[in-house]
């Protein structure tokens, strides 16, 4: 059953109200039983640590209506583990994996009519968000937390869809400090990227490529996504404390190895940009966005890939992962949870 009032094939990547979200509170040392609600607002103390000290982390995942009509959610356990890692680093209460996965299952089922039909290219985006609600004036962790999971149907993250995007290097801003919070999915990392993203958009670039904050010699991340490249039969992706462990990238590395590519997760030098056959960014929102070109305003250099078309390996990896997510191919790794 789907909501036929929506134009599924022309959805943007934005917020559309659905029927329910689900919430669990951490109070007196324990998590409450999750409750569904239609309320889109949150009331909390003006001294809540989320507002003052950045005690906030979130996740992004998707549910898909498969070729068989069944609803599948991608790698729930990995999102649960990553949220726990974020919570641990920010000294928030860590939601149990079982609580997280139960809340995701419940809220997707409750909003089943908003899961886009198979074949439309759209999906149901799932946003778990955890934040400190307890009041605290000193710089200390809160005693109370709220975990919310809400959903919204979405289309492509970039208006270009799977077509290559233009990327600009930003040397004037950093999204995360070398030993800071880049390795967790904290909201502050994304707040730190808004200025450079806006500057990039004003110049006509949908995404910004960040170099390492310490030396500006190595590739860090591509906007809000991981960077990867293909060269000489190798899948190459940066390894750094400042790079978020992308669940999509983790999955692509597994598929790349199975397809015969040698996977290298390591420090990637700026000087390698001119040697790659293909480049791309990857994450939950877009899966893979092929990169057509990377422009460096400092020296005027442009690194172009595959004549502005999606590279063959980007295409193979993209379609392989999408086929698994939509139930078109066997899920040999047990990545999909069928509801």
Per-residue pLDDT of the chain (339 residues; tens, 9 = 90+): 566 689 998 898 999 999 999 999 999 999 999 999 999 999 999 999 999 999 999 999 999 999 999 999 999 999 999 999 999 999 999 999 999 999 999 999 999 999 999 999 899 999 999 999 999 999 999 999 999 999 999 988 876 678 899 999 999 999 999 999 999 999 999 999 999 999 999 999 999 999 999 999 999 999 889 999 999 999 999 999 999 999 999 999 999 999 999 999 999 999 999 999 999 999 998 899 999 999 999 999 999 999 889 999 999 999 999 999 999 999 999 999 999
Cα–Cα distance list, 163 to 5, 78, 167, 316 (Å): 28, 28, 13, 14
Note the helical H segments in 29-167. Answer: 49-52, 76-89, 97-110
185 catalytic residue (yes or no): yes
278-283/226-231 β-pairing: antiparallel
Specify burial of residue 274 (Cβ count, 10 A radius: 0-12, 13-18, 19+). Answer: exposed
Taking the C-alpha atoms of residue 336 and residue 129, their distance in angstroms, rounded to an integer, is 21
**Cβ atoms 27, 15 nearer than 8 A:** no
CA distance 288 to 318: 6
Q: Measured between alpha carbons, how far is 202 from 211 in angstroms, rounded to an integer?
A: 20
Closest CA to 168 of 61, 273, 296, 330: 296
pTM: 0.95
Which helix (H) or strand (E) element contains residue 127? strand 123-132
pLDDT on residue 3: 61
CB within 8 Å of 241: residues ≥ 6 apart: 178, 179, 182, 183
pLDDT of the residue at 2: 61
Cβ pair 130, 87 in contact under 8 A = yes
* CB-based contact 130:79 (threshold 8 Å): no
For residues 168 and 166, give the distance between their C-alpha atoms in angstroms, rounded to a whole number.
Answer: 7
Closest Cα to residue 134, out of 142, 123, 126, 124?
A: 142
Question: Of these residues, 62, 70, 159, 185, which one is catalytic?
Answer: 185
Q: Please tell me the distance from the alpha carbon of residue 299 to that of residue 289, in angstroms, as a whole number.
A: 25
Place of tokens 């995942």: 61
- Measured CA to CA, the distance from residue 182 to residue 201 in angstroms comes to 22
Burial category of 7 from C-beta neighbours within 10 Å (exposed 0-12, middle 13-18, buried 19 and up): exposed
Q: Are 100 and 32 in contact (CB under 8 A)?
A: no
Burial of 194 (0-12, 13-18, 19+ CB in 10 A): exposed
Classify 124 as helix, strand or coil. Answer: strand
């Amino acid at each position: 059953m789907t909501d036929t009032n929506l134009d599924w094939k022309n959805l943007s990547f934005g917020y559309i109200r659905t029927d329910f979200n689900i919430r669990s509170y951490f109070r007196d040392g324990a998590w409450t039983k999750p409750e569904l609600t239609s309320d889109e607002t949150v009331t909390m103390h003006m001294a809540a640590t989320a507002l003052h000290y950045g005690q906030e982390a979130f996740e992004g995942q998707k549910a898909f209506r498969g070729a068989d009509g069944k609803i599948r959610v991608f790698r729930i356990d990995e999102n649960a583990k990553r949220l726990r890692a974020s919570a641990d680093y920010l000294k928030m209460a860590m939601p149990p994996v079982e609580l997280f996965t139960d809340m995701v299952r419940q809220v997707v089922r409750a909003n089943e009519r908003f899961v886009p039909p198979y074949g439309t290219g759209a999906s149901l985006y799932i946003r778990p968000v955890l934040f400190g609600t307890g009041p605290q004036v000193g710089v200390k962790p809160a005693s109370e937390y709220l975990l919310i999971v809400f959903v919204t149907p979405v289309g492509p993250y970039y208006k270009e869809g799977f077509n290559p995007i233009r990327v600009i290097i930003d040397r004037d801003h950093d999204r995360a400090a070398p030993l800071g919070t880049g390795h967790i999915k904290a909201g502050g990392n994304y707040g730190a990227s808004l200025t450079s993203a806006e500057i990039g958009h004003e110049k006509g670039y949908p995404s910004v490529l960040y170099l390492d904050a310490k030396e500006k010699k190595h590739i860090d991340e591509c906007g809000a996504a991981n960077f990867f490249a293909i060269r000489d039969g190798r899948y190459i992706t940066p390894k750094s404390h400042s790079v978020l462990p992308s669940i999509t990238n983790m999955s692509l590395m597994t598929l790349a190895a199975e397809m015969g590519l040698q996977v290298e997760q390591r420090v990637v030098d700026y000087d390698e940009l001119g040697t790659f056959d293909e480049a791309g960014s990857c994450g939950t929102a877009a899966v893979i966005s092929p990169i057509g070109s990377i422009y460096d305003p400092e020296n005027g250099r442009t690194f172009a890939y595959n004549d502005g078309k999606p590279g063959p390996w980007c295409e193979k990896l993209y379609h392989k992962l999408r086929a698994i997510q939509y139930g078109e191919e066997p899920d040999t790794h047990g990545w999909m949870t069928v509801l």
